[in-house]
Structure 1
């Protein structure tokens, strides 16, 4: 039977997360002996760099890789491995060791998550005993929240910890799907990071150079890869996002029309009105009035 990242029994019964250990640790000039755990382990590099080696087994060849800030490895139970940190500087890590067991709970089991999400199913059946991934930041934020919740509950899994664990599995599964088995496509990663930055900052006066700086690229290169990946310019994407947010605010809130330009990062009211009309063929006032009319009609009401 070929080895996979997780146990295939997890797809047959209803099993739930059980955490054995979790800890932050800063390593300096250290070489660990080869060892293994009875649990699955996530090793996440918070800062610095380290090496990780996997010992050769009957089913897998030896492997060695370098992990830098934002990199992490997830490995199956009983996989011989060791950590090395050279004299160039410390490496700070967050480690979590866990598996899945039967217990009464209303929380979705690993099997149910896999049935609902194809990426989770693909992660469980990944034909390898370990997986190396580079995290834009989402996985680390969930990991931090999870260990803080476990600390506050004395390692006991409660509903919030279960939900965070599900979020962790989903985040890793999507990252695994985006990365693919052939490694990260740099252009796709840069575009993904640029889109995340845009969605977090569209309400501010941002330009291409600001997005490029956030993802450490030259503005011209980011413009080219963005257009090649999405078939539209970065500026065009930002404008579409702003106009869709404006439509949502006009449709779902009572924010004053005169203020909406500030909510979507367009400093000039006149420019916002011109952009909105070009995008929707309606002025903001006409758009909101049409929405109000539709709501009244759907309720069987009429204007007096």
Structure 2
């Protein structure tokens, strides 16, 4: 495809987001006619799957792709496209249409974001009229917050919306950068996304199937590639992460030992105690006591 997602002239002045439309929509057994928009469009799949077709033009080839949960596409203005959803099930989406315009604002313009962040600059100057990206969940959370904020203010871009829009651009820019890495070695990208998901969700009751769903892979396949890349299983990595967080909480806070398990996503206190002892060779009580003793000894030595 020819063209760019963002107009180059937006880097020559201070331009700020202007939102035309946003909506949640569930489609079932539907085939849309080819059409265009006068604005950039983000189409994000919340659940289900859909097909996106880009029509061939004089300077570009036709393109067809499937978007599943967590996938999204960004289309430049005036790119002919259509959406199809087959009879196998509904597809729920979140769409936002926007561009950038000159207006007074106390927040960074798209030009200033590009000057401060090399990934934003790379996103803006990417020579493509569309981008297909897979989101570990960060973009969706920001996009949803932005839409809810706009909805509560009647589509006007206020202070919070400005901040959320800047966060959205930064998040997309980083995914765009990682997508380049994925093209060279997709396994590394999946493993990285899995690790990020665990670091964001270790305090919840998550399982391998939840991690696999977050990166759109089969649990068995993700388990194999993760072990090959990291040298340990997903469960082993998650357990190690939780135990290290538990050690930090025991060492640095006065949170009751009985409550620590809830902070690290282990629902059973008895199971947490068993896991902690297996990992550290100490009970949580003994570990906290040893840390307190070491701290006291250190203070005593400093006062000698």
Aligned residues: 293
Q: 1:75 touches 1:131 (CA, 8 Å); kept in 2?
A: yes
Residue 275 of structure 1: aligned partner: 279
After superposition, the Cα gap between the structure-2 partners of 1:74 and 1:220, relative to the gap in structure 1 and judged at 3 Å, is: closer
Return the alpha-carbon distance in structure 2 between the equivalents of residues 237 and 72 of structure 1: 29
Instruction: Give the alignment's TM-score, normalised by structure 2.
Output: 0.78
Contact 2:181 2:189 in 1 (8 A): no
- CA distance in structure 2 between the partners assigned to 1:239 and 1:33 by the alignment: 50
Of 127-136 and 3-12, the range deviating more from structure 2: 3-12
Which residue does the alignment assign to 1:59? Answer: 59
Shift of the 291–104 alpha-carbon distance from structure 1 to 2, 3 Å rule, reads farther
The answer to whether the 8 A contact 2:208-2:235 is kept is: no
1:11 is aligned to: 11
TM-aligned CA deviation for residue 26 of structure 1: 3.3
What are the equivalent positions in structure 2 for 1:23-34 lying under 5 Å apart?
23-34=23-34
Query: Which residue of structure 2 aligns with residue 215 of structure 1?
Result: 212
- Decide whether aligned partners of structure 1 residues 168 and 203 sit closer, same or farther in structure 2, where only a CA change above 3 A counts: closer
* 1:238 equivalent in structure 2: 238
Q: Give the Cα separation in 1 of the matches to 2:46 and 2:258.
A: 44
Q: What residue is the counterpart of 1:134 in the other structure?
A: 134
Contact 2:212-2:218 within 8 A present in 1 as well: no
User: Distance in 2 between the 1:28 and 1:149 partners?
Assistant: 28
Cα distance in structure 2, aligned partners of 1:292 and 1:181: 48
CA distance in 2 between counterparts of 1:49 and 1:219 reads 19
Contact 1:51 1:84 in 2 (8 A): yes
Question: 1:211 and 1:9, CA in 2 relative to 1: closer, same or farther beyond 3 A?
Answer: same
Provide the TM-score with structure 1 as the length reference: 0.78
- Between 182-191 and 105-114, the greater mean CA deviation after superposition: 182-191
Contact 2:54 2:82 in 1 (8 A): yes
Alpha-carbon distance between aligned partners in 2 of 1:108 and 1:131, rounded to the nearest angstrom: 24
Q: Distance in 2 between matches of 1:218 and 1:39?
A: 36
Equivalent-residue separation in structure 2 for 1:184 and 1:149 (angstroms): 38
- Deviations along 1:268-289, one digit per CA (max 9) or x if unpaired, are 54753563469xxx94334345
Displacement of 1:137 in angstroms is 2.9
Q: Which runs of 5+ in 2 are unaligned?
A: none
Equivalent pair of 1:14/1:102 in contact (CA under 8 Å): yes
RMSD across aligned positions (CA): 3.6
Query: CA offsets per residue over residues 167-196 of structure 1, 9 Å max, x none?
Result: 221222222222228759663454345324
CA distance in 2: counterparts of 1:180 and 1:226, whole angstroms: 20
In the alignment, the residues of structure 2 paired with residue 73 and residue 24 of structure 1 have an alpha-carbon distance, to the nearest angstrom, of 15
CA distance change for structure 1 residues 253 and 104 in 2, over 3 Å: closer, same or farther? Answer: farther
Q: Distance in 1 between matches of 2:28 and 2:274?
A: 58
Match of 1:284 in 2: 288
1:144 alignment partner in structure 2: 144
CA–CA separation in structure 1 for the residues paired with 2:209 and 2:42:
31
Shift in Å at residue 154 of structure 1?
0.6
SS state at 2:45 partner: strand
